[in-house]
Structures are given as structure tokens and as C-alpha cells.
Structure 1
């Protein structure tokens, strides 16, 4: 366990010293051009005055000088979005994300840009738009936008669920109630829509959007007078409200008040000349007035406005789909009308427009399609055993393992067929129910030795569970039954390799190749043997030849990733895995799982979540996918989602004790002790003496406060396993929880003596430091380092401890020693820079520069450098400090210390209003004790 620094003692180090890894380089923040900074400040002023075109020009000027200025990209995205340039806004926000902006800063406007472009599914599925981890201020509008996306996709339940979550966060906001109205209208739930209007009106009686939705509800119910009254109020509150004027003009047309409609349409031509709904209404008026040429021109304007839009942009806008379908139909352009009416059919189901679509199908002799539009029909699946077996296989290929299992269980009730048990076993295996799957496969193979699929699966299960002798026996039986089967010889080689019979394994692989020179697996397995024996060059040569023969072969690409990992080249590993994933079939989960694992190992949580999301729909019941998805959710701060995923995984894992412990560990990370307890209960019911489950049960009891039970179980483990550290460690944990520091030290000492390791050392070190205030604890680490001079974790723990206790001179010396062995460690460089700042050492800036050079995307490193420049430099350094701190604040807006640092610099540069806002947030957000007095003084000064 690494040493934990108390946050009130040394706040910057508390955030930085124990970070396992900082972000990879995304762009340099080492140089801030003064002219670019001035362009930004001018653009900010223009943006605040709503001069969006002027702001955009100045921001683009700044980017001509320095494209890596994060604040510029963020403001540019907001300005472009406000100016209606939604695609360009998305590009700017994407660049800001690449540069490292904290998603909380741009998630709502980026979601708006996605909705405007019809990217609804991406909005709901991409981890960028997850609500977890955001502040309530961002959560509510994001949930409203997510609700709109779900509603457009036809997911009424999901839409309403998002709005319920929004109301739970902020019960005083009218926005979720307003957003509920169109959802209810689309579902034809008019009573519920009226209730939502009433609730919104009670919270915000003058809200324009509330009145608009009130009018929309009345309109759809045929209450034209009520609709007109509501739309009148909308226009009275905001004469430029386009939606209100369009809707009111439509009511005027319905009521025959054509002159009033014409006045609204004339006003719309000024407000928004390119409004297709207004053009269509003008076509209706022209047709009524007997002006066919004018009507045709207006219809043509409709199609010219909508046709250029991408299908993604209009696919969830039923009004535009209907308008363009009707316009093309009226212009006798049936082929052009058809895709819009088909899209409308998909979005809204059967509507009056379906009759037009059916007529188009009839005119082109697509009779079956016409019937499909006008009538509903149902297709049933065959129920015979062979068909059910095939269907189950298809379900498994689609990841629908539960359906496959159900089908085979139904088939077995009719007849006990070995082929049914084979498929059932395979389905159970894919769903993670390993024990039951093994039983079914063993029964199938005993009943019918020709069920070679069952035999191969059994051998694989035995290999995975390290039952090598059983694996060899099954493989030998398969070879005996089919001596000319190259695949069975390859399987035998794998089993022999696991028993360390390398010459025999090589012979089996070579026999397989001799039988089938085209068979890839034995060649890959020979390469794997070479990798295991560290014959890297031989393995590389073999794999290169295989790749040359087929550059898209997923198995070869995966093996190259294994080789790269063994050689310690993670960038190559990522490259090979991405190539493998790009070329993998949908049902091949291996590259995707490996990608998620690699991203998690290297600290790239968003990328891990994206890769996991891509896996989940492909195999929603696969246990590996479930566990991997939960790990990615946890890494991205979505504990609620992880709990749900892990609950499914617990049920799926069945009696697999090792997997249940893994799931329990993830449950604890998700702060779900009940879920962890259930998983451990299932593990221990299968293997009562399973040590990892017993140890975790002790840890769970400690977290729940049942100290007596935890200590009793810990002592039983220690008594049964006296030569292992685990029992003594758990006794120490129990003693520490009871506040018995001396007993904890003694227990940890016994654990370290039983199995000396860095983990046992640091646990003992931490506890002993707490006992004597650091008087004797450093000697433990120093003695260890004399014997293990390359142990960076131990050396860092010592340095961090010195820094945390305010022993800055000792901390500086310890970090210097650490930097001799890890000169490029950004976290250590940053910690040392902070220590030097506190020692008022002039080298602090240079050390901070080195940290930023190694981790230019780290908010903490940027903050350290900016603060160091501000404290030690002049006007030029202050300008650079301002940009660095703006950048850091965008990357980590939740850091009160960063916001205070930024406020101090803003105040010095004359931006008092912005400084007042930042220091106010900092003081409300848990500012560190060392900065609070200065922050209070600054806040007082800024109020004067």
C-alpha cells in the first residue's frame, strides 16, 4: 500500500505524490505566445457581449499562432455553437478534449452539438456523455438532453428515467418538467403531459418554453384556441421565438385566418429566411390563393433547404421528414419522397403519411413492402430439435447466451440428446457458468464420443483450470479417434506444453503442421513457446512471416501484441491490438477485451470505456465482457452503473469461486458491500476453504465495522497458513481498525517477516510512522532500499512521507535520489517542484518545466508551473502563468486549489469579475487549509 498524505498538510503533494501515472503527452503547454493570449482575452470580451462572429475571428487568430491553447479551443466551440455552426463547434470541442479539457467544461454544449447533428445514439452511448462524475449544475441539462435523444429514438422509458434523475438532483428546476411534455405527447400520454405543464408552470410561471409546450399540447389535442393563447404568450415574451411563430402560423392556417398567418410568415422571413416549415406554409397559402407557380417555388424551397442536410441531421426530426416527403410528393418526385417517408415511418410508426408511402410502393410494384407498411405480421420460429439447435448456435454467435440455454433446456425436456447437451454446455460456458458447463460437456462426451466439439471444449476448460493431466487425457483420446486431425494434435501440444513437456509439445505442433500446412494455430503456438522461453527474435521472425501471408489475420496480430508486451513496448502492443480489433469478426471478443485491459493498465479510462461499450452490445451476457465493462465503468467514475453490471455478473458467474472473488473486489470498488458479500457467499459455498475469498470476507467485515468477527476469521487464516503473510496482514488490519496501533505494527512485522515484499514493507512503514511520528519508520525503508536499491515504490513512499510531514529538506534529498533512477517520472518531478517552492528554491520553476514537459496534459503539473511562475516571475511570466492556470482549471475544474491560484493571477491582471467568481467557487469547494486565509483576503478585496 502506498503512503497516504493527509490533504491538509501539503495539498499539492497530496494530489500529486501518489498518482500512479500521468496522462500521455497531448500537446505542449511550455510556451504561451503573448499575442495569442491577447487575442483570447479580446475574444472573451466579445463573447461576453454576444459578438459571436467577432469572437470567432479573434479566436481563430489566436489559433493561427498556437493551436494548443486549450482555453481558446473551448471558447471557440461555445462561440461556434451559439452562432449555429454546430459541426465546427463539435470539432473545436473535440480538439479541446484531445488537449485535455475536463469534460465537465464542455459536455453540455457538446451534447447540444450532437443533438443538432442527429448523433443521438452517440450522445447516449459514448462515455463522454455519462452523467456520473459531473456536478449537479451540469448533470441536469445533460440529463434533459439525453432525455430528448432517447425520446427521438423511441425510448420513452429511458427518456422519462433521465428526467426523473434530473428532478432528483434539482427538484426546483422547471426544465425537466418542460422537457417531459414532448416526450408524453409523442407517447400520446396527454394527461401526463398536462400534469408536466402544470408542474413546470408552478415552478417557472414565466418560462417561455413552458408556454410553448403548453401550446403544443393543446395543438395536438385539437384545442386550437388554447394553443393560440399559449403561442401568443410565447411571442409576447420573445418576439424572435421562431418555434412559437411557426406554430402560431400553423394554427392560423387551420382556423382559416390566412391574413394573420401571412403576417407571421412575413415576420419569419425576416427572423429566419431559411425556415422550411414557414416555406411549406407559404406553399399552402399560395395554393389556396390559386398561385401554383408560387406554391411550387415554395415547395422547391422546402426541398432545397432540407435535401442538403445529412440523413443523420434530419433522421430524428419528424416534422422535417414529413415536410420534405410531402413536398417531394407534391412535386411528383416520388423516388425522392420515399426515403423521407420511410424514415418517418421508422421514427413514428404508422401515421397518415404511411398511406403516401404505401402508394409509392404500389406504384413501383413493391407489393410486399406496401403490405408491410399497411399491415402487421408475425413470423414464428421452427420448434423441431435441429432447428432449435441451429437457432441456439446463432443466438450464441450474437451473444444471446441466455436464449440459447433456454432453447436447449427446452429441447432436452423432449429428448436427452448428446448434441443438445453439447450446445447447452457451450451456452453455459459462454455465459460464465463454468461448473455446470463442464458437467454438461462431460455428460455429452461420455454419452457420445463423436461429440468432438464437447471434447475440445472440455480440454480447453481443463487447460484454463490448470488440470493439465485431464486436458492431456482428453486430447489424446481425440487424437486416437481422429489421428489425421491436425487440430487435435495442436490441442495435444497445448496440453503437453502446460505440463512443461516442451519437446513433446513441439513434436505435436510440428505433426499438426505436417498434417495441414495451412493450419495457423500450431504455428502460433510454436511462437508462443518461443516467447515463453524469451526467444523473442525467433518468435518475431515466425510471426512476421505469418503476417506477410495475411496482414489482417486477427490471431497473428494478437500474438504480435503478446510479443510486444513481453518485450516491454506498450505502444506497439496498442498498435497491434487496434489492428486486430479493426479486423475482428463481431463475435470475436478477444481483441476488444485486450484493448480495454491495456487502456486500463495504462490509465486511459475514457478509451477503456469506449472500447468496453463497443464490446457490450456484441455479447451482453458474456461474463468476461460484463466484468471488463464494470472495470471500465469504475475507472470512469460510474459506480452506480458498475454495481448494476456486477449484479448481472454475480448471477452469471455461478459457482466459479475465482471469478466471484474478482467480482466481489469490483463490488467493493463500487462501494457495494452487499453485492460483494453475496459474491463471496457464492464463492465459499462452492469452495469453503478458498483463501482469497476468506481473506476478502475479513476485509469486508472490517469495512462493515464487525471487528470482532473480522479478527476471529483473520486469526483462523493465520493459524491455518502460518507461513503466509495474508493472515498476519489481516490481523494487523483488524488491530488498526480497533485503534490498536502497537498490535497492528507487530502483526504487519510478522507478515513482512513471513513474506517480505514492497507491499508488506509499506504497510508496516505507514503504521509505524503513525505510531511514532516518523522517528523510526524511515529506517525501515532505508534498510530495505540498501538491499533493494531499485525499488522505486519504497523510495517514493519515503519521499512522500517526508513531504507530507513538512520535512522539506529531507523530502528534497529523497526525491533527488528517486530522480536519479526515474528522471522522467512526471509525478516525482512535480512533487519535487512543490517541495522546492516551499523551500523558496529558485530551481522550482525549472523543475516544474520538466514535469510539464513530461506530462503536458496534467492539470496538476500545469498548475504547479503556473503558480511557480506567478510567485517568482515578472509581468511576462504572469501572462504565461494565466494561460497555464486557465488550462489547468479547464482540465480539473473540481480542484479548489487550482481555482484559487487562477483567481489570484486574474486579480493581478485586472479581471476582477472572473477572479471573484473563481475564488468564490474555490472557497465553497474544500480549499486547502494553507490557501484559505489568502483566499478569504482576496475575496474580501474583490468585493470592495
Structure 2
């Protein structure tokens, strides 16, 4: 349920208040009813009830009187008045017409009869009704009838006739404030705010203490966004007339806008006391209950609204846009989107530029009508470009459509007008979708810092921390969210993911189990538990969990894909392929995840032809889908078909138009296809569409460097440094440029600046690499240690430090770093493999155990198999070593180190000729490898 309060409620927008707005009080007693004494007593009692505003009781007594004499004129007239006051407008019209038939002077009924007809949506009939023409009426009544006709004409969109009717009223009495106030709603509707203010100021000159005039001025200021001015005007109206319904309603809206709940509750109580059947009072009551977390009370109040408004004929509602909006909001709050949609669409036909557009767009989104939501919001923002909330929603719609660059551009423009945390959240989401992770992270951090209640920002931010090598930070944030909402199953599930990435599978399992306990239907928790089983190589347990998920939903594509992983880990590639094909076939028509997974499976299995065939299936899902085209080009590249990839990417470039993010992705693949000119063309389009696109600027600088345009690349890099002084990427580019020009000193200085500006795993690794290359091993080591003192769980840096120690001939230090890394990530196969290698050098027999663990996690990895075979060789188990090393060599024959290891074991086993052949092939590659000198010496001895 979303409150819409950025515009004030227009005068006469509620049913009850609309019907009563211009009724006169009963002035004097009507003639006594003719007939029996009992009829007279019924009439007198009815009159007293009417004067006490007991309209329902009055109607009962009058009907009793009519049973005795249906042609009693005073009874029919009073009955019409009582029915009108009680909201029964159709019956009131009948009673007034009966009074006319019985001979009442039309001056006694025309105003009320006209109101009853308008309340039923009979504006055209009222305007043409012979008895309701103004000629011959007393001046005061004639004036009021001109104003009533003006309102009906305005309802019908007849603005010029409406203003003419108002002018006719003014000719009768220009000193009456009502003849000026009647113009205000018409001028507001046509956005003629200057004329509206002139009219209301004229009324205030005539009647400075008229509450209605101050209310009307407040409504103009409210629409114009002058909230302080509107607040003061509404307060003045209520000071003059504490029971002014419209001013009360407007003031409640402002209280809610500024979260002044106690003030709002006080005014809602006053409103319901003054006008108990006012549907807006019930709606406000629902809003207050919702904000206090009182869901049942909120729902009950919304039912009050719909019970009051659903029976009202649409013929009347169509002229009362605020009633349409109100009932639409109520049905929306009751989770009745189709009913809400009906009323809100009708409302927007009368008020096309209303902020209610935002709510209808949300309903479209919730029912899958994404394109309709986009069109609705785009048209609205053409007329209301300053509506940040609508821009924010359109940004979300663009994200749902996959138009991340458009979403980012829109939100960046919106933030220039108003910096709200929810806008930064949407910007962060769009940047993330566009692949600009660092920028997305910064925006989401800013949103969460500004408003810790931005749950969406906090959740995505935590996920980013986990994904981007900051698991401790992610865990801390998720734990904070869970502490705030311990019964939130989704957050418990996220907590499990955070623990898993922090290397604590026990805590992860506990959190996932808690999530499953809180919400047994939460499939994601079950899937995560299955993935923990997979990580622990508990394949049977994982398979059982996944089977249970598939019993409930046989088409759950994530479960099907995880079953593929079970099969893959068991070495059953064909079965894994079958599961992934099921996932693909049960996915949406535009879902490409499982096509991508199948391509990966085929490529890992050395089946590039099948990978390409699968890529064609993906493209077939949508021939003009850019994602599909990019996937197809990757498969072509895997097949070595660079020319074919260039053609596919050329088509993608045309389809991407000036979308900067898509063009950057295309350019990256063009570079992989060795099409430097194609990459340059894509980036030029990207920068034409979005000159400030940082990813495009960065990649263009790298392309210019490869094209030999060093001066251009350097100037672009310096511009990036100047424009983004808090980002590392510009300094990194300058470092790369310096290296390309063989300027090691400036390169090192640039990488130091990059690291100081925006320290990260990436900047640390780049600086370490440069220092090591320049022979400054000690500084490289200190750079890593400094990062680890600040971020001890940075596994990327731990890995790099361990490798640095290993290359420098410090196996003991390397082993220590790898062990530290594995305490956080016990399933890290490269770390296990490398640790086993340094343990071999140290003569540590636990190398076998370490290598076995790596092999258990990655049984098809040639490097892992080689390490295990090499360990068996070093510790005297030559038969096992030979079997494993032959396996490794067959999987990766181009690896000279694996060939050397196999040759070493072959030579010791007496297979000299075979050993010679392996060594010759290893030396032919020309690739440097550890043990190359020993390999050359061994070959000499064998010759």
C-alpha cells in the first residue's frame, strides 16, 4: 500500500463532502404536513432529527409519513433533503422530482436536485434539465446555479463554458468570494497556477477570514511544491474553521509526508468525528495503522473505504477523479491489483499527469506488464520531469528491461535535482547491472550510509562485498540486518551465504537451516544446504536434498542445474549435460544461464563444436537478443573462428546503438577477436551515447595504446584522473602507459597512486607485480602485508603473497600464507595445489594429503593430477606417480612442466626412450617452466 500525497486532495473529492459542499442549512420550519395526526407527528419528529443531523432516522420517519399520504409535499421535500445528506443521491433525485410534480416552487429544489444529479454522474442531463435553468430564479440562487453548472461543465472538460458560467455568476455579484473561488479548481486542473492565485487572492481580498479561501490557496501552493506555504494556508483555514473537511484532509497528508504520525492521528480523529462517512478518513486510518505495523487494522480500514466507494456508480466516479484514485489505492492496499488497476486507469484518464502514475506503473510491474509500465512513466515524465520518485521507478523498470545504461543515466540526472538514498540505491543497481561494480558499490554504500533503512541497498551491498573479496565486511553487514530482523528467512539465508564465503561452513549451515525452519517453502535455503553438501563432497546428501526440491517443483531450474553439478563432480559428463538441458528447456524463453552453463561444460570437456551448437540454440531464443549474440561470439572465439566472431559482434554493435555498457562489452570481445578497429568503433559509439562512461573511457585508452596512439591514450587517462580523483583507474592506466613506453619509474609511481587513492585487492596485486618485476621483492612483500593488516581475509592478496614467497625461494613462508588462506577458504583448489607443491619442496609428507584433497575437489584438473603424481614420486610411490602423470599429460599435452615430471618418472622407471620423447616435446614449446634446467640436464644424460 503506497501513499500518494505529493498533490493535495481537490475540493469536493470525497463522496460525502462532495454532496454536502454547498448545501444550505434549513432556514426555518416547513409547513406542517397535511393529513392525519400521526403523519404530522412523523414529520415533526423527522424535522427534529434532520436538524440534529440524524439523517437516517429522519428518512425512516418521513417514509412512515408517506405511507399515510404519498402526496404530502412537505414530506417529499424534506425526504429529498434527508436522503441527499445521507448520501442516497438517486433516491433524493426521485423525491425532489416528486416535490416538483406536487407543485413545489422550483427555487426550493433546483440546487439540491442539481447536486443529486451531478453526484450520479448525470452532468449532461443536469445541464439540459428544463427546471434547472437559471432564468427566473432569485439572484442569489441563480448565482449558485451558475457555479453548479460551471462545476458540471468542468467535469465534462468544457473549460470555456465553465469559465463563462462563472463570469455570469460574477455579473450577478462580483463581491461574493465564491464566484472567485469557483475558478480555482478549474485553473489547477489546466495548470494555470498564476490565474488560480489571482482568483484566490481576489476572494481573500473580499473575505480575508474565509476558511475555504485559505484552503484553496493552500491547494495551489501544494500543487506547485511550496509545502511551507501550503502548510501555513491549511493551518489558517483550520484556525478559522476547525471542522473544515478539505483542509483537515490536506493537513493530514502533509503530516504523513513528514512522518508526523501523532499529529496525523489527531487530525484523522477530528475528520472522522466531523464526517464519519468520509472515505478519505478511513484511508488515512489505514495508512496510520500500516505505519504502526497494525496490519489487521489497516486492512479493516481499507475495507471501509471500498465498502463506501464500490457501490458508487462509475458514471459518477468518472467525474470525481479523487474518488477513483482513493478506491484504486484501497484496492491496491488490499492486494487486489485488477480492481485497483480499473480505478487508477480511469483516474489517469482524467488526470494524466498525476503522481498516481507511479502506483499504476508498480501495478503493471507486479503483473508482468513491464513495457506498459515503461511507456506510462516515460509519457508522464515528459510533462513532469521533476518527479524524482517517478524517475526512480522508471530506473527500476529499465533495469527490469535490461536497459542498465539508460537506468544509470536517468538516475544520475535525477540525483542532480535531489540526493535521496533511494535514488542512489537504484543508481547502484543499474550500475551493477551494467557491470560497473566499483561505481555500484560506491553508490550503494552512500545510500546505506545516508539511510540504514534502505534494506534493498543493504542486501545488494552485502552481496557485493561477498562477491568482491570483502567477505568480512559482507558478513558484518548481514549480521546487522539479521539482528534487526531475526525472523526474516531471506536474511538468514543471506547470512548463511556470508558465513560460507568467510570459510565457516558450520555457521553457514546453521543459518541456512534457520532460514528453512522459518520458511519451509524457501527453496533457496534448501538449495544452499545442498550446495554446502556439494562443497563437502557429500554428493549423496546433496542429491537427496535436490531430489526433494524437485519433487515439489520438477521444473526448478536451479535445482536441475545443481543436479548437473552432482553428476559433473562424479565425472558423469553425459548425465550433467542431460540435467543442464532440462534446466535450459524449463527456463524462460529469454533465459540464457543454462545455455551458458552448457557451453562451459562442453568447452571444459573439449567439445567446442557442441559449445557452438548450444550457442546457436541460445541465439535462437531471440535472434536479436544482444546477450545471445555475445554468447554466440564467445563460442565462435572458442572454436578459433575470429572472423565469424567479428561478424556476430558487428551485428551486436548495430543493435546496441549508443548503449555505452553494451558497446563496452562488444569492444572487449572485439579485442579477443583481434579486431582493434572494431573495438575502436564500438567504443566510439559508446562515448557518443554516453561521453562520461568511465568503462568506455578506460577501454578506449587501452585500445588507443594498442593502436600506437600513446599521446591520445595518455591524455584520456589524465582526464580520467582529473574527473575521478577518488578512483584508481586513471592512475592505473597511466601506469600501464608508462610500462608500454618502458618507463618503470613513472609506472611504479602511478600504481602507488592508484593503490593510495582506492586500495583494493586489484590495486595491491598490480603494485606487488610491478615491484617484483623491478626486483623489489621486499617492498612487494610489505605491500601485501600492509593490505592484510587492514583486510586479513583478503584471499586474493594472500594467494599473491604465497606465490611471491614461492617464486622467491621461500617455501616455508609460502606454505604459511597458503595455510592462512585455506583457513578462510578450505575448498580453494589452486591454494591446495600450490601448498602441496611447496610442501614437496620442503620434504613435508603432508603434501600427499594436501594434494589428495585438491584432487578430490577437482579430479579432472590436469595441474592438480600432476601435483598429486609429483608428490607420489617424491615420496617413493613411483607406480602411482606414473599412472597419475600419464593422465595429466594426456589432459594437457602442451604443458611442458607436466611432460618434464612424466619424463623424470619414466627415466627412473627405465623407460628412457619414452622419457627422451617427453623431454624433447617439453623443450620444443619454448615456454619457461619450473624445472626447465633440470629437464635439459636430464635430456643430456638420456642422450
Name the TM-score, length of structure 1 as normaliser.
0.40
Structure index of larger Rg:
2
Q: Which has the higher contact order (CA 8 A, sep 6+)?
A: 1
TM-score (norm 2): 0.40
